[in-house]
Structure 1
Amino acid sequence: MAFDFKKEFKKFYKPSGNPEIIEIPRMNFIAVRGKGNPNEKDGEYQKAVEMLYGVAYTLKMSYKTEYKIEGFFEYVVPPLEGLWWQENVENKNYLLNKELFNWISLIRVPDFIKKEDVEWAIKCATEKKKKDFSKVEFFSYNEGLCVQCMHIGSYNDEPKTIQRMNEFVQESGYSIDLTDKRHHHEIYLSDPRKADMNKMKTVIRQPIKK
């Protein structure tokens, strides 16, 4: 059976609906960076997601090609994730204006996948699909100490969950630590094209410090 990150690492992908403090280790991803409203039809974000999945599945199916990745084992492509921030915006207001978003769209890759493997997949996907995948990059992220919570419902209702997380952090003797290198983090466990908006599951994670 293929290795499934969501099942093997439930503490990272299936937190409860109550905020909790957790240490997140370094993880490797493929990533695309961009700016602007993620809801814009055929916009930069939508194109980034398409690029990510194109490279993700090229890596996943590499064992069926002549290109062999050392240590490879079959795995389920992990869920889409995103790091989000805005320039010069107070922490409590950074989700309000989607046009001002900076983002890094992510899909996790197993540790056996290295930068050169991602470069091969970009080249392979470009040749096969006749599209430009050059914005995809290998991205290593050491997230560190965070507060996380499962958000159920629309993305527009996230501020309510974030408010609960912020209150929990303060009561626990910590503070939110959003910086130019530590960002608001979301993991998308539901497909918004198919799921009931009121039942969508999103892991929300915020960096914290003592």
Structure 2
Amino acid sequence: MVKLDYKKEYKDLYMPKGIPTFIDVPPIAYVMVEGKGNPNTSKEYQAAVGILYAISYAIKMSKMGKNQPVGYFDYVVPPLEGLWWGDDEYFDGKRIVDKDKFYWKSMIRLPEFVTPEYFEQVKKEVAIKKPEIDVSLAQYFVYEEGQCVQIMHKGSYDDEPESVAKMNQYMKEHNYICDINNHRYHHEIYLSDPRRCKPENLKTVIRHPVRKK
């Protein structure tokens, strides 16, 4: 059986070009944990990532157990993603701010066969197998992102404002306005593992919601 790889199947979502492009993103379901703090130093963020992967791999490996969900298909676990905003105003990605004040929703896409009911079932199973993980923090989250501009950013996370500036110029030229607010966020998709990749080689999809002027 061929495994579904979301990055390859939906290249428009996960493999954009190094220049800004427009995309209309459909509603997508995620396993999500939210919190606050610097992702580089926050124990809360590291714990969140651990929760996400524990649940994601439990769902993937359900094919080996007795409780395989209806409609199951084999797949590659999608990449880690993050929605980000700040304390005093909505984070717009234009500058590096105090990372300790970041609010975030860290998340991994769920395959389409995962229902809210099955999601809760998996949480209970993971809680039994890995009691050291607080799976109660995990939520079934559907993000209706809609119209966006995105770009493939190559390099350090701290250099992202350079790519955001290109996105803002594209919006201006195509009569769009950045529409980051309290329910549409600065969105990042992490295609590289920073533990195994030099900063200059990191690949990150940056996506901002937009609306027409």
TM normalised by structure 2 equals 0.95
Secondary structure of the corresponding residue to residue 192 of structure 2: coil
Letter in 2 for 1:130: P
Contact 1:86–1:94 (CA<8 Å) still a contact in 2?
Answer: no
Q: Does the alignment pair 1:188 with 2:194?
A: no
> 1:84-115 deviations in whole A, cap 9, x for unaligned?
00133263656411111110001001111011
Alpha-carbon offset, residue 63 of structure 1:
1.6
Partner SS for 1:16: coil
> Structure 1 residues 155 and 170, CA, compared in 2 at 3 Å: closer, same or farther?
same
What's the CA shift for 1:184? Answer: 0.3
Question: Where in structure 2 are there 5+ consecutive unaligned residues?
Answer: none
Counterparts in 2 of 1:60 and 1:166: CA distance versus 1, 3 Å:
same
Q: CA-to-partner distance for each residue in 1:99-138, whole Å, 9 max, x for gaps?
A: 1111000100111101111111111111112222110110
Residue 207 in structure 1 maps to residue 209 in structure 2: yes
The answer to whether 1:79 aligns with 2:79 is yes
Of the structure 1 ranges 197-206 and 59-68, higher mean CA displacement relative to structure 2 is found in 59-68
- Say whether 1:23 aligns with 2:28: no
53-62 or 109-118: bigger deviation: 109-118
Stretches of structure 1 that go unaligned for 5 or more consecutive residues are: none
Structure 2 residue 144 is matched with structure 1 residue 142: yes
Q: In the TM superposition, what are the counterparts of 1:114-193 in structure 2 within 5 Å? A: 114-131=115-132, 132-193=134-195
Query: What amino acid sits opposite 1:166 in the alignment?
Result: N
Distance in 2 (CA, whole Å) between partners of 1:93 and 1:75 is 35
Q: Which amino acid aligns with 2:198?
A: D
Total equivalences in the alignment: 209
Moved over 3 A (4+): 90-95
- Shifted more, 23-32 versus 111-120: the winner is 111-120
Q: 1:146: Cα distance to partner?
A: 0.2
1:85–1:94 CA contact under 8 A, matched in 2: no
TM-score scaled by length of structure 1: 0.96
Question: Could you tell me how far apart the structure 2 residues matched to 1:60 and 1:198 are?
Answer: 32
